[in-house]
Structure 1
Amino acid sequence: MNKRQTRSFALISTAIAAVVFLGMTVDSHRQFPKLTNAQQITPEVTRGKDVWHEYNCINCHTLFGEGAYYAPDLTKITQQRGTPYLTAFLKDPSKFYDEQRHRRLMPNLKLNDEEIAALIAFMDWVSKVDNQGWPPRPILVTGTSIPGMDLTVAQQNVAGGNQPPAARPVSGKEDPIALGEALFRTTATPVCSACHSIAPGVNLAGPTLAGLAARAKQVIASPDYKGKAKDVEGFIRESIVTPSAYLHPGDMYSANGMSFMPDTFAKSLTPEQIDQLVAYLASFQ
């Protein structure tokens, strides 16, 4: 191209790029109210934002991947933990984590009930912002360096002295245990492995699921059990769909007769997905 053609090409390309950029900017602003869930910004949400800043939560935590990295990203924390758990945790974090074992402990900020409710309302609003999948990982509370935390079901059964499912033909497309394991690790709201370990003795926000089938049998046989399950699969299904039917011992798992585990799985998962999770979890002898 000669100089005139080069100049024309540059001007036309710049003009096209500018028009595209302006169009995308206008479209983004058009979608902001819906994407940011702006219609749900209540006075309590605004108050919660003030609490967040007043106590400098961002010095340790992040929202949308922005902030400090000493403590977990809290973008989806209300979907991962639920209001009952967060309320109890904010009142006394020391009941949930041991400083020596976990190497860090959130300080007790001495928040009053109004501040806690407002802060949770703010974080719940944040969790419902359409952030296009960012941050691209499940929330991590105690880290992933705990030995045995990432055992597969086959490895877990081997560790327990049982014949692993891998000893029989397994199809990732058809085997319900394999499909259940995939759901356990990847279901977005929330990710089961964010709260539950499958390693013996490793309790996170929820109790370890190692040996779940054996424990289920003991619970069902106990006179203190008031649920409706008659077998291991029924107990696991009940625990997923109506988690407060049986409360696992320990103050860090329930309060006021209500489990901290979210009770939304009956709606967020299909019956087929629940069947697959049950098959996976029932294999933990």
Structure 2
Amino acid sequence: MNKRQARLFAIGSTVVASLAFLGLTIDSHRQFPKLTNAQNITPAVTHGKDVWHKNNCINCHTLFGEGAYYAPDLTKIAQHRGAAYLQAYLKDPSKFYDEQRHRRLMPKQDMTDVEIADLVSFLDWVSKVDNQGWPPRPILVTGSGIGPMGAPRPIEGTAGSAPLPGAATPAGDKSPIALGEIVFKTSTPACAACHSLVPGAQMAGPSLAGVATRAQQTIGSADYKGQAKDATTYLHESIVQPSAHTVAGAMYSASGVSFMPATYGKDLTPEQIDQLVAYLATFK
């Protein structure tokens, strides 16, 4: 290739690349309203964004992977935790942690109820933006670290694909227990996003280590408010009616309403719920 051919090739390549970039840019802007749920940007969402910036949340947290990395990415936090949990947490984060055990906590921002509600609306809007599955969730925890906003803090490479302790489930096993483990990890939202299976590793929900034994103890307690008669039906009740029994003073409910989503009874089939119960019943 002589100099003239090389120059023409460079010019042609630049033109083609520029046209491709321009076309992709135009196509991206064409899709932005749909991908970002622009129709759902209410005054509350806009004000919530202002609250986010006013309190410098980005100095510790990230959205869509952008921001500081001291604390967890909050892109999908509204889906993983729910509005009730986030509102209670933002009102007083200290109630959700033991500072001596979990080291530095998220500071109390002293926001008004309106600011908190609108910030949650903003995070809810963010969680529904089509971000093509990034950042990946859930982060599975096999240790006791807990990060701000109730999200798990990964411990030495345990994020993502780390196996969870529990009943052995050989590859290809189609037993109810094995299928229940799959439901535990892949339901929406995933149980593993809020519950650890490690003793003492409290996340947005309590550790489920020993949950079958605790279930039997709970239904035998005078304080039990539900309708279950044994550990299995208690586990079933806890999944489909999480507010049937709550523990006063615990950080997982407020005013008798559990922070756990009450949608699993509709989102999971009866067979999936039975499989999940069979899996959880192995943790004694």
Do they superpose with TM above 0.5? yes
Q: Residue 143 of structure 1 aligns to which amino acid in structure 2?
A: R
- Counterpart-to-counterpart distance in 1, 2:248 and 2:208: 14
Cα–Cα, structure 1 residues 42 and 12, in superposed 2: closer, same or farther, change >3 Å?
Answer: same
How many percent identity over aligned positions? 67
Tell me the distance in 1 between the aligned counterparts of 2:164 and 2:11: 58
- State the number of aligned residues: 270
Note the 1:48-67 alignment, pairs <5 A.
48-67=48-67
* Separation (CA, whole Å) in 1 of partners of 2:33 and 2:275: 37
- Structure 2 Cα separation of the partners of residues 151 and 173 of structure 1: 16
The answer to whether the Cα contact below 8 Å between 1:172 and 1:179 also exists between their aligned partners in 2 is no
**Relative to 1, partners in 2 of residues 1:86 and 1:253: Cα closer, same or farther, differing over 3 Å?**
same
In 2: Cα distance, 1:205 partner to 1:252 partner = 9
Q: 1:105-147 deviations in whole A, cap 9, x for unaligned? A: 111111111111111111111111111111113256242339x
Residues 1:185 and 2:195 aligned together: no
Contact conserved, 1:87 with 1:116, CA < 8 A, in 2?
yes
Aligned to 1:122: 122
Q: Distance in 2 between matches of 1:13 and 1:272?
A: 57
1:86 partner amino acid: L
Query: Is the deviation greater in 136-145 or in 197-206?
Result: 136-145
Q: Report the CA distance shift for 1:211/1:122 in structure 2 as closer, same or farther (over 3 A).
A: same
Could you tell me the TM-score, scaled by structure 2's length? 0.84
Segments of 5+ residues of structure 1 without an aligned counterpart are 155-164
The higher relative CO (CA closer than 8 Å, separation ≥ 6) is in 1
User: How many Å apart are 1:44 and its aligned residue?
Assistant: 0.6
1:256 corresponds to which residue?
Answer: 255
- TM-aligned CA deviation for residue 172 of structure 1: 3.2
1:90 maps to which residue? 90
Partner of 2:166: 153
- After TM superposition, give the deviation of residue 92 of structure 1 in Å: 1.0
Q: CA deviation at 1:199?
A: 1.8
Q: Deviations over 1:2-23 (max 9, x none)?
A: 6666666555554444333333
RMSD: 2.6
Q: Does 1:144 align with 2:154?
A: yes
Cα drift, residue 279 of structure 1: 1.8
Partner of 1:161: none
Under a length normalisation based on structure 1, what TM-score does the superposition of the two structures give? 0.84
